[in-house]
Amino acid sequence: MRLDHTQAPVLEAVADYHRRGELPFTPPGHKQARGADPRARAVLGDAVYTTDMLAISGMDDRTSSAKVLDRAEELMADAVGAEHTFFTTCGSSLSVKSAMLAVAGPHEKLIVGRDAHKSVISGLVLSGIDPVWVSPSWDADLHLAHPPSPAAFAQAFERDPDARGALVVSPTPYGTCADLAAIAKVCHRYGAPLIVDEAWGAHLPFHPDLPAWAMNAGADVCVTSVHKMGAGLEQGSVFHQQGELVDPTVLRSRADLLGTTSPSVPIYAGMDAWRRQMVESGRELLQAAIDRAFRVRDAIEAIPGMHVHGAEFLGPDRAYELDPLQVIVDVSGLGCTGYHAADWLRETHAVNLHLSDHRRASVQLTFADDDTTVTALLDGMHDLAKHAPEWDDAVVEVPEPGQLMNEQACLPRDAYFGHVEQVPADRAVGRVSAEMLTPYPPGIPTILPGEQVTSPVVRYLRTGLAAGMVVPDAADPSLETLRVLV
């Protein structure tokens, strides 16, 4: 049956609520903006409050008889070719945990790329899953990790054929993508499902010139942040399912276990509206964005001291595909760090870049960008190139690839909840970490609970902190001390 994608069930339900003049004697307590602080209303606007209502006895009735959310999820699944789609207002950090728990349980094995986001590690801590780590495809010259290869997953299954499934991040925050079709075939050869953390890939199903997306490549579950590369509100996330290796009833149950009982209707509405927008005009919007991205890449590449990564990210032992909308700019030719470059552009030009590391900063483009935003970006980049050579930035001691795969001494859960102590960083070497230490963004932990602390990793984090790196999850933000197992 062909579905009518001109519909937007959540948006229409909100409009009906207002048309009927519903009078809430329920949460939220601001009661359709009437009780909100006028100063907040002046900044946020009344629409933030008037669209904020209960999902039941608000967007829908007490028994959800109109099936507003069900219809919106069905339309989303149809739009992208999935069998089932589930909305969440808790971000992909919740979605990926739900997917993991639907595949493996306590003390069961899950094959995971070591370049996973901290939300995946949090899922390991909460679940007690036993991770089988797969090494990323390291670029030792650029000090960058690309997604693991299909061969790496095949080797992991050969070592641990009892693994319940596998998880890979694709695209990475750097825009590099795995060979998902080949990895899915490896997993299915062992009767195991593939979970794809595709938080950065919401746009991929809607244009043929973008990298392949998870469902088309044969993945069983994929997690997508609509707010990242789509036009949803922050925390808007969906996870898609297909095939028989992951039970959709179990998947929904795991999401219910972790999710909020007070979901945000505005976030639902944003995802619903974005799906309709993509079905109706996504290809045209994304084509314009892709064309603009290539012009931006060429313009930044022409700035002395800057280099936009592209072809060198692709090939054997590197990434399989590249999302052109993630413009990764190497500023090391200016003699500065990506941290300093990003901070300076924000302070002097009100231009906010996305991730930054010891030598790079990234520009995330979407179909929302236009000539005005791009002009402001390029003006800032040209100005940066003039001023950066005046700086004397600290040097970050980046380990070699082999030094970043720490030995796992115990389960992440056991280390995190174990008997711990805080010790000076130099005395932590050789001990078992009881915390995550995560340069953010992009949010990939350098040390995990249960891993042995090594000198190269400690030097990397401490010299990185001195150069502007942010490690927000450390118990001691100065990294003078580290939390370890007793």
Is 83 found in the same domain as 55?
A: no
pLDDT reported for residue 7: 96
* 147 conformational bin, left if phi > 0, alpha if psi -120 to 50, beta if neither: beta
- For 309, the domain range is 281-390
Q: How far is residue 106 from each of residues 127, 128, 133, measured CA to CA in Å?
A: 6, 4, 16
Domain end position, chosen among 348, 369, 390: 390
Read off the CATH number of the domain in which 332 is found: 3.90.1150.10
Percent of the chain with pLDDT over 90: 97
Decide if 124 is inside a domain: yes
Number of domains in the chain: 4
Question: CA 187, CA 245: separation in Å to the nearest integer?
Answer: 11
Is 343 found in the same domain as 247?
A: no
Half-sphere exposure of 17 (CA within 13 A, CB side): 24
Domain end position, chosen among 44, 64, 84: 64
Whether pLDDT at 4 is above 90: yes
Identify which of 277, 287, 375 has the alpha carbon closest to the alpha carbon of residue 325: 287
Mean pLDDT of all residues belonging to the chain: 96
pTM of the model: 0.96
* Burial grade of 208 (CB within 10 A; 0-12, 13-18, 19 or more): exposed
Is 206 found in the same domain as 86?
A: yes
Is 235 found in the same domain as 91?
A: yes
Decide if 70 is inside a domain: yes
Query: CB atoms < 10 A from the CB of 405, how many?
Result: 16
Q: How far is residue 98 from each of residues 54, 129, 240, 356, measured CA to CA in Å?
A: 23, 13, 12, 29
Q: Are 48 and 260 in contact (CB under 8 A)?
A: no
- Tokens, residue 56: 């039941």
Question: CA 439, CA 466: separation in Å to the nearest integer?
Answer: 13
pLDDT reported for residue 92: 92
Whether pLDDT at 391 is above 70: yes
Q: How confident is the model at residue 441 (pLDDT cuts 50, 70, 90)?
A: confident
Is 196 found in the same domain as 72?
A: yes
Decide if 396 is inside a domain: no
Domain end position, chosen among 11, 30, 64: 64
Q: What is the pLDDT of residues 277-328, one digit of tens each?
A: 999 999 999 999 999 999 999 999 999 999 999 999 999 999 999 999 999 9
Q: Which residue has the tokens 């389960």?
A: 411
Read off the CATH number of the domain in which 132 is found: 3.40.640.10
Whether pLDDT at 42 is above 90: yes
Decide if 460 is inside a domain: yes
